[in-house]
Structure 1
Amino acid sequence: MDLLFVTSSTALVMAVAGTLQSAGHTVDVASDAQQLDGALLSERAFGEADADVQRVRRDYDAVLLDDLTDTELMGRLERLLRSRADDSGDGSDNNVPGASRPLPKIALLATPSMPRGREQTSRYAISDPASPLHPAVTINKPFSDTELLSYIELLSPDHAGTNGPALLIHGDLTLDTHAQRAYYRSTSRPIALSPREYSALEALIRADGRFLSFDDLSRLVFGDGVGFAEQHAVMATTLYSLTRKMRRMGFFITQRGHEYRIR
């Protein structure tokens, strides 16, 4: 994918850009207005006073936006993307000859606890659904390389629409819910799980840290049409084997009485 990373943090550039480039993505970085103009504006518009009303030079698949980016730089990015949308209608018609591609999707790198005085100014446009800076995905800091790459995969044009994978991300675990496969750290090779183990793992991850009862897990894995005795024995075996496999990767399925959760 062709990506633009907008941030004022040199340290974040080194960490994020390196990870994305090692995964085969092309990454341009904009840390100031000059770099942003160089990445987005046409050669004719670059440096002109009316540059904001010109179309962008190249189409990025996505823009990674650090929420601690300088507010002036963030504002300029919004204006440039908004002017492109104005130039091409709604920026979403790929079937009209000559029409530009849709606006790049935004992946927001979000700081859970914003520094005092920054939250309102840095998110003035991000929270507006009509803004070109409104995120398609939000990646909360700190994040692992696997989380970053999994979220970026969600924005890939190859995965657009209903045929693309629906991903669940839990630390270094990534679940493709369409293919019913689970991955650890890399999406190149799935974890060896039985269908029942996968279903139990997906249910636990969807619970997002909440405890699920043994009976709830059984219904989610088997449905309501299996005999209780057979269901209970097989579910117990499934949870035992899944717990062992997850522990090898540093994930723990904890039990509280007859309730379970994954951490």
Structure 2
Amino acid sequence: MTDTRTALVTGANKGIGYEIAAGLGALGYSVGVGARDDARRQAAVDRLRDAGVDAFGVPLDVTDDASVTAAAALVEGRAGHLDALVNNAGITGGHPQQPSTVDPEVIQTVVETNVIGVVRVTNAMLPLLRRSASPRIVNMSSSVGSLTRQAGPGSETTTGPVAVAYAPSKTFLNAVTLQYVQELAGTGVLVNMACPGFVATDLNGFRGVRTPAQGAATAVRLATLPDGGPTGGFFEDAGTVPW
């Protein structure tokens, strides 16, 4: 086992995930760039290394058991432990997403990545996280998963006024995250949710008003919390997000 702090970021070849990897790398972490596409993953690793980050590629499809198992073995072989896991990979499911017309398979596909994929990766990495002195898990959520904000006035979201696959997947993810918080209470594993805000990425056709680096800031902060920091929180730059 190395003494270097090691992090894994899923969906890290571009956008917010890439900036989370860059932010953790700037703080001295060795960062695993988790991504499905070989060429894009290697390009991200090369770019991070050019910026002075100790980055390494992790082939990772969060919807595939064998891929996730292999990713855990790769991280174990390289570092022997994991200090921070940022579950960033996610999809919207496309448009439109009106509940009365949506194809149920769209919802199933989105949940498979945005929720079950997080469970799959987290469970595979937990043995490595337990070897860390200060393990941290950050699940990238969204304020569109806030039931309070969905029900409130001006509930236009990053995916449109109605997003029956994407928005509820983040509500589901929040609930699952809290189950991990309860199970891991007292173990030193801090588990939190981060909302990046309305960031300009290909996920929303670059309609966002924030940069990926701005969107990554909360996740980087939560991934590097000191011992005794919060757990079970839903955070954005301005503070906490209402449930």
Pick the TM interval, shorter chain. 0.3 to 0.5
Q: When the two structures are superposed, what TM-score results if normalisation uses the length of structure 2?
A: 0.42
| Higher-helix-fraction structure | 2
| Greater length-normalized contact order (CA 8 Å, ≥ 6 residues apart) | 2
More strand by share: 1
